[in-house]
Amino acid sequence: MSHSAPARPLSIAASGPLVGTLTVPGDKSISHRSLMFAGLAVGESRISGLLEGEDVLATAGAMRAMGAQVERTADGVWQVHGVGVGGLLQPQVALDMGNSGTSTRLLMGLVASHAITATFIGDASLSKRPMARVTEPLSRMGASFTTAPGERLPLTMRGLCPAVPIDYTLPVASAQVKSAVLLAGLNTPGITRVIEPVPTRDHSERMLRGFGAQLTVEETPQGRMIAITGEAELRAQNIEVPGDPSSAGFWMVAASVVPGSDVTIRNVLMNPTRIGLVTALRMMGASIDELAQRDVGGEPVADLRVRHAALTAIEVPPDLAPSMIDEYPILFVAAAFARGTTVARGAHELRVKESDRIAAMAAALGLAGVRVSEHEDGLSIEGRDGDPLPGTRDARVASLLDHRIAMSMAVAGMHARAAVTIDDAAPIATSYPAFVDTARALGALPQWMNR
């Protein structure tokens, strides 16, 4: 798992235009949920297009440890034989979540309403991330927790069966917290309700319905109210996982900023709760065409053709934050090439991701020669009006065990005078194992370095 992997420095030098057609790996959020819901369903589910990154493999391992049969039958194709809601078994080993916050928080929800005890461990990055946001509502439902100081991992929890249904208003805009409560509600008698004042990604809702759960969504004056009826029975499904828009984001920005580029990204999930980056880039003047719009497994999907364009700075609307929360690092890279100063505020949550992404990107872009000022809730970035970045020369960007910092800065290196070097690009394997190969196939020049 990533916390034991040796550091792998990566250097990227400027290249000619990026040209070609590519596919991105399966969506990470949907991949996690596919394994969890199939693992709880009655019967055998088949999943194709699963993201086989370390984060998702951590979910697969945990579901296996709790009794589901989870098998890989071909590239991206997995078969899962579920235990039935209420049927999770006591894991005999600690569940190693690696770098994955989504695995941890959603699985905690599942465990909360089963009479089992589970221990969650993770790498240095995950062990710094706040878990109070899930232990708080799950405690109200009856689960109990022993945690490292500050409600962090390592954490041992004991679920309660039957658990107590709650009505819960999300104090932070978080699809992970929403999903944790809904998943706990699956095996809880009665109706569990979550109100989200700000809409976040809705894959749990869409997929739970697809698996046959009784789940309703209603707009109320307080926000979206999601109600799930407990002691649900989930039925096995065939799931096709669409391409991850967060992974596509790196190529959207790379093609936009490297002169002469023309890239088509096939099969990208276009769920409105996920495509804030497309909106922001278009506001900046990016050329992104949506081709072949279609529906895959109840989700909108399209091919995206992205061509180089002169970008202009914007004030990033804070209400886009939930729909592009994972894309700020790569948006900051786009801003570094725009004309004028881009201001992104209202994104406090970035401080508690795989790294503190505000501080990490301020330091990384600063090292590559961009003028950046840091705010409590975002960054202001002075764009270079299409000029290449100076690059990091002999210094190395710290990726801080954060895949998205590593990939974002790799993109920054694709249009820089001197190369951009990243101290450790091994974390890329958590979400996008083929990133470096795809970069090469498009004509970019990434190079693994000696330590």
Structural Rg of the chain based on CA atoms: 21
Categorise residue 238: left if φ over 0, alpha if ψ from -120 to 50, beta otherwise: beta
- 396 known ligand binder: no
Distance CA 326, CA 353 (A): 9
Note whether 261 binds ligand S3P by CB under 6 A. no
Min dist CB 353 to ligand S3P, Å, is 6
- Any idea what the Cα angle at residue 257 is, between residues 253 and 259, rounded to 5°? 140
| Cβ atoms of 199 and 125 closer than 8 Å | no
Note whether 176 binds ligand S3P by CB under 6 A. yes
Q: Which of 114, 201, 224, 415 binds ligand S3P (CB under 6 A)?
A: 201
Note whether 99 binds ligand S3P by CB under 6 A. no
- 139 known ligand binder: no
Comparison of 160 and 316: residue with beta carbon closer to ligand S3P: 316
Note whether 55 binds ligand S3P by CB under 6 A. no
Which residue reads 């570094």 in tokens? 336
Distance CA 150, CA 144 (A): 15
Min dist CB 329 to ligand S3P, Å, is 11
Min dist CB 349 to ligand S3P, Å, is 6
Catalytic site residue from 202, 326, 402, 424: 326
Min dist CB 180 to ligand S3P, Å, is 9
Q: Which of 11, 45, 102, 380 binds ligand S3P (CB under 6 A)?
A: 102
Query: Per-residue x/- mask for ligand S3P, residues 317 to 356, rule CB under 6 A?
Result: --------xx----------------------x-------
H-type alpha helices, 285-444: 328-336, 357-367, 403-413, 435-441
Which residue from 35, 82, 79, 76 is spatially nearest to 59, judged by alpha carbons? 35
85 burial (CB, 10 Å; 0-12 / 13-18 / 19+) is buried
272: Cβ contacts below 8 Å, ≥ 6 apart: 300, 323
- 128 known ligand binder: no
Note whether 256 binds ligand S3P by CB under 6 A. no
Distance CA 285, CA 298 (A): 30
Pick the stretch among 71-79, 80-88, 175-183, 355-363 that binds ligand S3P (CB under 6 A): 175-183
- 33 known ligand binder: yes
Query: Per-residue x/- mask for ligand S3P, residues 19 to 48, rule CB under 6 A?
Result: ----------x-------------------
Which residue reads 């990204």 in tokens? 265
Pick the stretch among 57-65, 171-179, 263-271, 393-401 that binds ligand S3P (CB under 6 A): 171-179
Pick the stretch among 77-85, 173-181, 191-199, 422-430 that binds ligand S3P (CB under 6 A): 173-181
Peptide bond into 154 cis (omega under 30): yes
Note whether 422 binds ligand S3P by CB under 6 A. no
202 assigned to active site: no
Could you please report the per-residue DSSP string of 95-142?
EE-TT-HHHHHHHHHHHHTSS-EEEEE--TTGGGS--HHHHHHHHHTT
- 176 known ligand binder: yes
CA atoms within 13 A on the CB side of 283: 15
Binding site residues, ligand S3P, CB under 6 A: 29, 102, 174-176, 179, 201, 325-326, 349
Annotated binding site: 28-29, 33, 101, 129, 174, 176, 326, 353, 357, 404
Annotated binding site for 3-phosphoshikimate: 28-29, 33, 174, 176, 326, 353
> Catalytic positions, please?
326
